[in-house]
Amino acid sequence: MDAHDHKIEDPPTLHDVDNPAKVFTVYLVVLGLALANIFLFKAGLGPITLPVQMGIATVQAALVAWYWMHLRRKDTIITLTAVTSLFFVFIFYVLVLSDVLTRTGGGL
Amino acid sequence: MSASTHSSVLKHHFDNLEQQHSAEKLGMWMFLVTEVLFFSGLFVAYTVYRHFYPAEFAFASSHLVLWIAGVNTALLITSSLTMTLAIRAAQLGKRSDLMRWLVVSFALGAGFMGFKAFEYYTDIHEQFVPGSMFQTEYARAVEHVAHHSAAAGDHGGIQHWAIELAENNKGKDPNSEGYIFPERVQLFLCFYYIMTGIHGIHIIAGLGCIVWLMLLTKCDKIPPQRYATVEIVSLYWHLVDMIWLFLMPLLYLVGTGVKGH
Amino acid sequence: MSTAYAEPQTIAPVPPEPEAPPRNYLNNGYGILSWLLTVDHKRIGILYLVSLTAFFTVGGIAAGLVRLNLLSPDGAILTEDQYNRMFTAHGVVMLFLFLIPSIPAVMGNFFIPMMIGAKDLAFPKLNLASWYVFMIGAGFMVWAVLAGGIDTGWTLYPPYSSRFSHTNVTPGAFGAFITGFSSIMTGLNIMATIHKMRAPGMTWGRMPLFCWALYATSFIQLLGTPVVAITLVLLMVERVAGVGVFDPAMGGDPLLFQHLFWFYSHPAVYIMIVPGMGVISEIITCFSRKNIFGYKAVAWSSVGIAVVGFLVWSHHMFVAGISYYSALLFSFLTMLVAVPSAIKVFNWTATLYRGSITFQAPMLFTLAFLVLFTVGGVTGLFLATLGTDIHLHDTYFVVAHFHFVMVGGMVLAYMAAIHFWWPKMTGRMYSDFWSRASATVIFVGFFLTFVPQFVLGYHGMPRRYPNYPAEFQVYNILSTAGASILGLGYLMPGIYLTLSLFFGEKAPANPWSATGLEWASPSPPHVFNFEFVPVVKCGPYEYSLNVDQLGRTLPEPPGPMAPNTLKETNGVG
C-alpha cells in the first residue's frame, strides 16, 4: 500500500515525521485567527458577523485537520471518512432548516 | 529491548504493524465521525433556536464571561500543538520529550477545565442558571425596577443581568418588538451549559487518555513502533479542540458585540 | 478422505470430511470466565445470541399481552395505563434490544472475519466491551419497562415524556443511550475490519454480499446513532432539570425533538433490514445453486439504501406541523429510497429464475421474506404519498406496514440466518422436518396477524388506542389469533434448535455446499478460524463452476431431503 519499501518493523521513516517548524507555524496562524475572531466581534460587523465567525472557525479546523491530523498524507479512506461526516452534517442542517425556515403558512 | 517490545506491540490478529497502525487510525477516525455527528445534533438545535430568538440569544451571550473563553481557547489550541509534538517525539523514540509534551498537554487541558470550573462557579454565583435560580432573580429584578428609577446606582444586591433584563422589559407588552423573553434567555442558557458541559466531559475523557499515555511512557511501553497509540489520542484531542473553535463564537460572540460584560 | 465410514450411532453413513480438530472455539476453555472475558469474535456472537433471544422473548410477551387486550373493544385484560406501558415495552425492547443489534451483533460478529478470511475483528477487546455496554443499557431499559413501565410510546415525544409523564422515562432513555454506544462500537469494528483485514485475493468485488450489507449497516450506525444519543441526553436534561429545551411554554419546539429523533430512527430501520437483505443474498444463491443476478447492483444498492435512508426522516412528521414545502421535499425523497430496495428484490427474483431450488428451512424463510418484505415495502408508498398519509398516519395501516418489513422481513431473515449458519456455529444439524414446519407456521401466523391490520388501518382504527369501535372487533380477533400461531411458530425453533445441541447429528464443514470462506473451516470453527491463510481465487457465488472461494470443488449439494442422508460422496470433494 505504501510506496516506500521499508521494513515493517522499522520505526517510521523520517518523511513520515512532522516538521516542527510547520507544526508551529500552523499554531501561530490558528491562534492568531482565534484572536482575530474575538477582536472582529468587538469591532461590530453587523449581519455578516456570524458568517465571518464560522468562516474563521472553518479555516482553523481545516488547518488543524490538514496539518496536525495528517490529512495532508492523503490516505484515501481517511479523507473519505472525514468528508463523509461533513457531508452528512450538511444534510442534517439543510433538511432541518428546510422545515424551520419555511414554516410561514403552517403545516399539513 | 526492541525485539521484545516489538513482538508485544504487534497484536495476534494482525499480520503486520503497518496493518495494525492503519486499522487503529481508521478506527479512531471513524470514532471521530460519531463525535462530529453527536455534537452536530446540539449545533442544529442551537441554530434553530438562534434563528427563532436572535435578541434573547444576543442578550444572554453578552452576559457570559468572555475573557475566560478567550483564555481557554488559547490553552486548548496550545495543547493541540503539544500533542502533535508528542507524536513526533514518540516516532523518534525520544522518551523524555514525549513525556514532557504529554505532561504539558495535560496541564493545559487541566487548566482549561480549571478555568471552566471557575466560570461555572461565577455563573452559578450570579444565579445565571436556567430554572428556578434564573426565575427567582428575574422576579426580584422586576420588583426592584418597578419601584426604583434606572439611574439609581443601587441595584439592591440583584445581579446585573437581571436588572438589565427587567429594565429592558419594563412597561413593554410581551408581543412588542424589543421585548426579551426571559424563558428564551433560559433556553440559550440550557444550550450554554449543555454544550460546554458535554464538551468538558470530552476534555476530561481526553485528559484520562493522556494520563494513560503518560503511564505507558513511564513504563517505557511506547517504542517508535507504537507511535500510533499517541497519534490516535492526539486525533481525538484535536477534534475536541476543533469543536471548541466552533462552540466559542456561537456561545460567547453572539450579536453585534458592542456591549461587553 | 476417500472412504466412507459408518458410525454406529448415526442413522445414515456420514460422508467423509476433514476430521474436526480437537480444539474448536467452543471447547477452547471451559468455565464462565472463559466466556465472559473472551475476545474471540465467535464467542461474543454467541453471547449476543443468548441475550437477544431473552430480549426477544420479553418483547414477544409484551406483544402477546397487547394483542390479547385488543380482543375486546373495551380492552380485555389491561387498564388503559397498563396498555400504554405494554405497547411501549414491546416497541422499546424489540427495537433497541433485538432488531437493531440482531444480525450485526450475532452473525456480523461471528462471520465477518470468517467471510473475509481474517482471524478476528479489528478490535477484539472493543467487541467484548460492546457486549457489556449493550447489557448495561439493556439492564436499564428492561428495568424501566418492568418496574412500572414507560407510557409514552417508544418514540418518547416531549413535552409529554419530559414534563407530564410519571413513568420511568429517564432510565429507559438512559438505557437506550447506552445501548447506542454498543451499536456504534459494533459498526466501527465491522467497518475497520472490512477495510483493513481482508485475506489475499479478497477484493471488494469478491466480497460476499453479506459483507457489503453489513458494511452499509455499519455506515448507518456510525452516522445516525450519535444523533439519537444527543437527543436522548437533551430529553433527559429537560426531564430531570425541569428546563424547557423542547417545551413550548419555555420557547422550545417539540418538532425539533422529532427532527433530531427521526434523523436517527429512520436510518435505524435500515440498520434493522439491510443485514437481513445481506443474509437473503447468501441463502438465495446457495439454495438456487446459482450466482447472484447483478452482484454490483445488489452490492451498491445496500450503499444506496444507507445514503438515501438519511434523507427521508421527516415522513414520520407529515402531520406534525412541518411546513408544506418541507413535506413535499421529504415525500419525494421517500419515494427515492424505495428504488434500491426494489432493485434488490428484482435481482433476487432473477437469481431464482432457472435455479436448482431446494426448500430447506433457510430457503423457506428466505422465500417468505421475499413475499412479505415486498408487500411491506409497497405499502410504504401509500405512506410516502402526502395525500394518503393524512388518512393513514397513526393508524393500523402504519403498524401493519412496519411489521411486514420488520417482522416479515427482518425477523424472518434472522431466522433464515440462524437456520443457515446453525451447523457452522454449533457443529450440529437440526431437524429438517420441524424447521420447515416452523417456517410454514410462522408464515401463516404472520399473515393472519398483520393482513387484518391493513384493513383496520384503512378503515381508520388508530394505533396505540386501548379500545376501538365494535365493528373492528372481527379483524382484531383474527389478528390476535394469528399472533397466537406466530407465537407457536417462534416457540418451535426454540425447542428443536435447543434439542439439536444435544441430540443433533454432527454437522459437516459444509452441509449446504455453500461457497463462502466461512464454510471452509470445520463446524464448529477452529479458534482462529482457519488453519491456513486463505487465498481467495474467485468471486463469492460460483455455484455454476462448482467451486468455493478458495477454488476448491464443492461437496454434493443438499438434495430435496435433509443433507447427509442417503448420499455417499465417494471421494468427490
Mutate to test the interface with B, among C123, C230, C261 (most CBs of B within 10 A): C230
Is the pLDDT at B121 greater than 50? The verdict is yes
CA B176 to chain centre: 35
Tens digits of per-residue pLDDT, A24-76? 999 999 999 999 999 999 888 888 899 999 999 999 999 999 999 999 888 89
pLDDT in tens, B204-224: 999 999 999 999 999 988 888
**Segment B43-93, tens digit of pLDDT:** 999 999 999 999 999 999 999 999 999 999 999 999 999 999 999 999 999
- Give the whole-angstrom CA distance, residue B223 versus residue C89: 52
Model pLDDT, residue C15: 56
Higher pLDDT, B33 or A17: B33
Nearest CA in chain C to B25: C192
The band of A13, judged by pLDDT with boundaries at 50, 70 and 90, is low
C407 part of contact set with chain B, CB < 8 Å: no
Q: What is the pLDDT of residue A4?
A: 41
Q: Does A63 touch chain B (CB under 8 A)?
A: no
User: What's the pLDDT score for residue B174?
Assistant: 85
Taking the CA of residue C119 and the nearest CA in chain B, the distance in Å comes to 5
Cis geometry, peptide bond prior to residue C508 (ω within 30 degrees of 0) = no
pLDDT given at position C251: 87
pLDDT confidence bin for C573, thresholds 50/70/90: very low
Q: In the prediction, which pLDDT does A15 show?
A: 54
Chains in contact with C, where contact requires at least 3 CB pairs less than 8 Å apart:
A, B
Residue B257: the pLDDT is 58
**Under 8 Å between Cβ of B250 and B46:** yes
- Asked if residue C461 belongs to a domain, the reply is yes
Q: Report CA A94 to chain centroid distance, whole Å.
A: 19
CB of C184 within 8 Å of any CB in chain B? yes
Distance from CA of B190 to the nearest CA of C (A): 7
Which run of H or of E encompasses C422? helix C412-426
How many residues does the structure list for chain B?
261
Q: Would you say the C-alpha torsion C527, C533, C539, C543 has a positive or negative sign? A: negative
Question: First vs last Cα of chain C: how many Å apart?
Answer: 9
Q: What is the pLDDT of residues C350-383, one digit of tens each?
A: 999 999 999 999 999 999 999 999 999 999 999 9
CA atoms of B7 and B225, how far apart (whole Å):
10
Q: What is the CATH number of the domain that holds C476?
A: 1.20.210.10
Residues C345 and C370 sit within 8 Å (Cβ to Cβ): yes
Mean of pLDDT values over C300-304: 97
Can you read off the three cell numbers belonging to residue C101? 443489534
Residue of C156, C102, C65 lying closest to C407 (CA atoms): C102
Q: Which residues on chain A are in Cβ contact (under 8 Å) with C321?
A: 103, 106-108
d(CA C531, CA C553): 19
Mean pLDDT for chain B overall: 91
Can you count the helices (H) and strands (E) in chain B?
9, 0
Range of the domain at C233: 43-246+255-520
- Residues C218-241, mean pLDDT to the nearest whole number: 95
In a domain, C194, yes or no: yes
CATH architecture of B62-131+186-252: Up-down Bundle (1.20)
Q: Which of B23, B30, B38 sits opposite C229 (nearest CB)?
A: B38
Give C462's strand partners. Answer: C395
Tell me, what's the pLDDT at C13?
A: 57
Contact (CB, 8 A) for C171 and C239: no
Confidence (pLDDT) at B258: 52
Nearest CA in chain B to A46: B256
Check whether C1 has a pLDDT greater than 50.
Answer: no
Q: How confident is the model at residue B6 (pLDDT cuts 50, 70, 90)?
A: low
Rounded to whole angstroms, the Cα distance separating B101 from B104 reads 5
Across chain C, mean pLDDT equals 92
Q: Does residue B4 surpass a pLDDT of 90?
A: no
pLDDT of residue C257: 96
On chain C, the residues whose CB falls within 8 A of the CB of B60 are none
Q: How confident is the model at residue B259 (pLDDT cuts 50, 70, 90)?
A: very low
| Test mutation, C114, C162, C227, chain B, max B CBs within 10 A | C227
Domain count, chain C: 1
Alpha carbons C330 and C336: distance in angstroms, whole number: 10
Q: Are C514 and C552 in contact (CB under 8 A)?
A: no
Q: Give SS3 for B3.
A: helix
Q: Where are the domains of chain B?
A: 62-131+186-252
Q: What is the pLDDT of residues C401-439, one digit of tens each?
A: 999 999 999 999 999 999 999 999 999 999 999 999 999
pLDDT at C5 over 70: no
Query: In this predicted model, what pLDDT tens digit does every residue of C236-259 receive, in sequence order?
Result: 999 998 888 999 988 899 999 999
The secondary structure of B43-103 as a DSSP string is HHHHHHHHHH-HHHHHHHHHTS-HHHHHHHHHHHHHHHHHHHHHHHHHHTT-HHHHHHHHH
pLDDT of C190 over the 60 cut: yes
End-to-end CA, chain A: 55
* Residue whose grid cell is 475573557: B67
